[in-house]
Chains A and B, each alone.
Chain A
């Protein structure tokens, strides 16, 4: 029997040998590079064809642009352009390029390259998403009077036209290179699908710091493709990563405990978490249910019975701000400070419901025709904060007699129900707003839009107030007068607060973790967060070398 055990131990030792290879990112580490994780593969490195956020980040880090929106002041700053001028009627923009600009491969950058890059984006064959922002891209004319001047002729004024140029990378004319030859701080060097993207420093980048040192300071950027929060955080705490740009609220405390100087709660973001009732006439729901959801009193009562402070405190561990309106207080320029919202009160909610013909039978609410008020809240799987909010709302609504079931679906199935079949009762989701300017929300508010979630793609506005929102949004998008725009947007916020098509729940806070080793960080709540001034970021010490991966 002893020999049996002995051979067993031998085998176990053998096993230990075979399995002694641990996991880890295989990306080679370079001295002086900045590293962090992105959660999925960029779909393209072609800056003109960017159509999701990972590619957008790569374009931001590699593409040279005429103007860059300063993420702190929100003002456009000239980059490849030394200066720019917009004509008084807003239809002509003149860019003067800096002298002696070069691409990362050493070739000269002239107005011909800039004009070619702009035309490429405007060309319908490119399918560039940015082109849509020119409203009628086919009518835009570009010309180059000399090697340093680019003129853009617009058919009519576009509000906030400068920020469009923040998204157009200037590439060498007739030589699109998928980010390998760039005029920005970095260029794509290496990409392994599902593993990492490596960018290297552009030696010919135009910018120098005050002391005349060539930027960027970092020798490169490594973006590991990693969709595992635990691993990302543990690698950050070990010094392998320099930042986490969106830290989930539940992990804030864990990271703060181990490295309190690294985590920052920058307060409310521009993003909102909200729920809405399906008001689409095409929805395959019984008529009585649709009539609840179209009933303003019903929506207001639901809104009044939700304890938003609890949602922020418990579902987000305090790292969220209760939300009552469309525009976050973080967006000081556009937030309506005089917004009147229905107060949180169960008694008021009960009163409103009773006035609207609903009645209680025990713990259950019934409508005037005697149907019990039961519906489902749909949300996406894999977002713990949202699922906690849903469970809390379920309890809150039980207090006014509404019986709620919660269903979490994976994204494709959820989107099919929301966007194609309208087969849902109530949906709880978030909306991320990349830009503070309300023009960027047009898609959501116009009743004719497919992203007008509660009742999409309407031929004519279904209600008076939706028609009014349509008018106001068009007004703010076309008026050159800041005061008129502000008034229109304030009014939209008030209509939404009165009608509650979206029941706003919280504004999640911007949570970032930045290594104390990383110098030059200027925090910003706008995308791309702490790396918006990537050319001025510098790692203080070299990363600790790890023997085995």
Chain B
């Protein structure tokens, strides 16, 4: 297949993914309980004002088609509309937060991978005591994100990057160790060992090329894991990033923000998917 067609297909796929994500998010949020409600309604003082606002919202967004038309109009105008909770354009709101979250994600994922690989390579080559050596990672798996983050805050050690890296590491370690163990036991490696090749040569020439395609697929998994952990971590550490915004949007049923966030998610997931698809090309090369 020649490359213009490939690029066109990739772009088409991403576009379709974005459309599906937008449509799905709109449906989910619109029909979730509490779409037409405002926490100020319970406050006797501010209830009438909140009620007026809700009525206006209700008349504008009665049906899904109304919402869809407005969203389409916003996209064509190059934005995502106005945030319901902050009353400012969503693009402005999210734009300022993306770099912060992206940096946190990148640092967390790279840190997590380094940690997981550093631990998994030696542990997977052990013949005994594997379970014991992986104990720290099992402990990390068991600790809830919130507890880990709070411990960091209370002890004044480490921040969001550390927690994210540990979470990613704990999850990736299990997969990596499994993959690498399989690789160490493969026949050509046994032969390599028997020939007395140094571990570094073994890792470089035999193990890494062998597990590379699956490592690439694993990146998808760690990106998704990190995205999931981003929300609690940003909320607890009060990092003014996309995750924190997304959580506030969920609690306020802020549809325009949520649609924008799920579009971002779709882009990241699509990108991660492409990463894992690059692998065969590398292999062929």
The reply to whether A413 and B114 contact each other, CB–CB distance below 8 Å, is no
- Indicate with 1 or 0, residue by residue over A39-54, a CB within 8 angstroms of chain B CB atoms: 0110110000001100
Residues of chain A within 8 A of B41, CB atoms compared: 415, 419, 450
Cα A209 to Cα B237 in complex, Å, equals 40
Residues of chain B within 8 A of A23, CB atoms compared: 152-153, 159-160, 237-239
Of residues 1 through 18 on chain A, the ones whose CB sits less than 8 Å from some CB of chain B are 1, 3-5, 7-9, 11-12, 14-15, 18
From residue B117, how far is it (CB to closest CB) to chain A in Å?
7
Given contacts A192-B240, A195-B240, contact A15 B44 (CB under 8 A): no
Residues of chain B within 8 A of A129, CB atoms compared: 45-46, 48-49
- Indicate with 1 or 0, residue by residue over B32-43, a CB within 8 angstroms of chain A CB atoms: 111111111111
The reply to whether B34 and A412 contact each other, CB–CB distance below 8 Å, is yes
B52 interfacial by beta-carbon distance below 8 Å: yes
B283 interfacial by beta-carbon distance below 8 Å: no
The reply to whether B114 and A14 contact each other, CB–CB distance below 8 Å, is yes
The reply to whether A4 and B200 contact each other, CB–CB distance below 8 Å, is yes
Residues of chain A within 8 A of B86, CB atoms compared: 41, 43, 193
9 contacts between A and B (CB under 8 A): A18-B107, A23-B238, A52-B40, A129-B49, A227-B235, A228-B238, A234-B154, A411-B34, A451-B44
The reply to whether A411 and B238 contact each other, CB–CB distance below 8 Å, is no
- Indicate with 1 or 0, residue by residue over B142-175, a CB within 8 angstroms of chain A CB atoms: 0000000010111011111110010000000000
Residue of A nearest to B97 (CB): A194
Cα A440 to Cα B87 in complex, Å, equals 29
Given contacts A132-B48, A450-B47, contact A417 B33 (CB under 8 A): yes
Q: Give the interface size class of chain A.
A: 35 or more
The reply to whether A19 and B161 contact each other, CB–CB distance below 8 Å, is yes
The reply to whether A18 and B236 contact each other, CB–CB distance below 8 Å, is no
Cα A5 to Cα B43 in complex, Å, equals 61
Partner-A contacts on B (CB < 8 A): 32-52, 85-87, 93, 96, 107-108, 110-111, 114-115, 117-119, 121-122, 125, 150, 152-154, 156-162, 165, 198-200, 203, 235-240, 244-245, 248, 251-253
Q: Can you name 12 extra interface pairs (CB under 8 A) apart from A23-B237, A24-B159, A193-B240?
A: A1-B122, A3-B198, A15-B115, A15-B165, A22-B159, A52-B46, A193-B96, A412-B33, A412-B37, A416-B35, A441-B44, A451-B42
The reply to whether A434 and B121 contact each other, CB–CB distance below 8 Å, is no
The reply to whether B49 and A127 contact each other, CB–CB distance below 8 Å, is yes
Given contacts A129-B46, A443-B44, contact A5 B122 (CB under 8 A): yes
The reply to whether B165 and A19 contact each other, CB–CB distance below 8 Å, is yes
Cα A8 to Cα B158 in complex, Å, equals 21
Residues of chain A within 8 A of B150, CB atoms compared: 230
The reply to whether B252 and A21 contact each other, CB–CB distance below 8 Å, is no
The reply to whether B111 and A416 contact each other, CB–CB distance below 8 Å, is no
Residues of chain B within 8 A of A416, CB atoms compared: 33-37
The reply to whether B159 and A412 contact each other, CB–CB distance below 8 Å, is no
Cα A22 to Cα B153 in complex, Å, equals 9
The reply to whether A3 and B37 contact each other, CB–CB distance below 8 Å, is no
The reply to whether B200 and A8 contact each other, CB–CB distance below 8 Å, is no
The reply to whether B107 and A451 contact each other, CB–CB distance below 8 Å, is no
Cα A114 to Cα B238 in complex, Å, equals 40
SS class, residues of chain B in contact with chain A = helix
The reply to whether A412 and B253 contact each other, CB–CB distance below 8 Å, is yes
Given contacts A8-B119, A415-B42, contact A227 B49 (CB under 8 A): no
Residues of chain B within 8 A of A19, CB atoms compared: 107-108, 111, 158-159, 161-162, 165
Among A412, A413, A444, which residue has the most Cβ atoms of chain B within 10 A?
A: A412
Residue of B nearest to A230 (CB): B150
The reply to whether A4 and B34 contact each other, CB–CB distance below 8 Å, is no
Residue of A nearest to B112 (CB): A15
Among B34, B38, B51, B157, which residue has the most Cβ atoms of chain A within 10 A?
A: B34
Residues of chain A within 8 A of B158, CB atoms compared: 19, 22
Cα A417 to Cα B35 in complex, Å, equals 11
Among B32, B45, B50, B87, which residue has the most Cβ atoms of chain A within 10 A?
A: B45
Cα A227 to Cα B114 in complex, Å, equals 32
From residue B248, how far is it (CB to closest CB) to chain A in Å?
8
A89 interfacial by beta-carbon distance below 8 Å: no
Selected from A25, A228, A411, A429, the residue in CB contact (under 8 A) with B236 is A228
From residue B239, how far is it (CB to closest CB) to chain A in Å?
7
Cα A23 to Cα B38 in complex, Å, equals 31
Residues of chain B within 8 A of A431, CB atoms compared: 44
Residue of A nearest to B162 (CB): A19
Nearest first, the 6 A-B pairs at minimum CB distance are: A412-B34, A22-B159, A443-B44, A23-B159, A194-B240, A8-B118
Residues of chain A within 8 A of B108, CB atoms compared: 19
Cα A25 to Cα B239 in complex, Å, equals 8
From residue B227, how far is it (CB to closest CB) to chain A in Å?
18
Given contacts A5-B122, A412-B34, A415-B41, contact A15 B114 (CB under 8 A): yes
The reply to whether B34 and A410 contact each other, CB–CB distance below 8 Å, is yes
Among B37, B47, B52, which residue has the most Cβ atoms of chain A within 10 A?
A: B37
Residue of B nearest to A233 (CB): B154
A231 interfacial by beta-carbon distance below 8 Å: yes
From residue A136, how far is it (CB to closest CB) to chain B in Å?
15
Cα A420 to Cα B122 in complex, Å, equals 60
Cα A193 to Cα B96 in complex, Å, equals 10
Cα A12 to Cα B121 in complex, Å, equals 13
Cα A21 to Cα B93 in complex, Å, equals 24
Cα A259 to Cα B46 in complex, Å, equals 37
The reply to whether A420 and B37 contact each other, CB–CB distance below 8 Å, is yes
Cα A545 to Cα B51 in complex, Å, equals 46
The reply to whether A419 and B37 contact each other, CB–CB distance below 8 Å, is yes
A226 interfacial by beta-carbon distance below 8 Å: yes
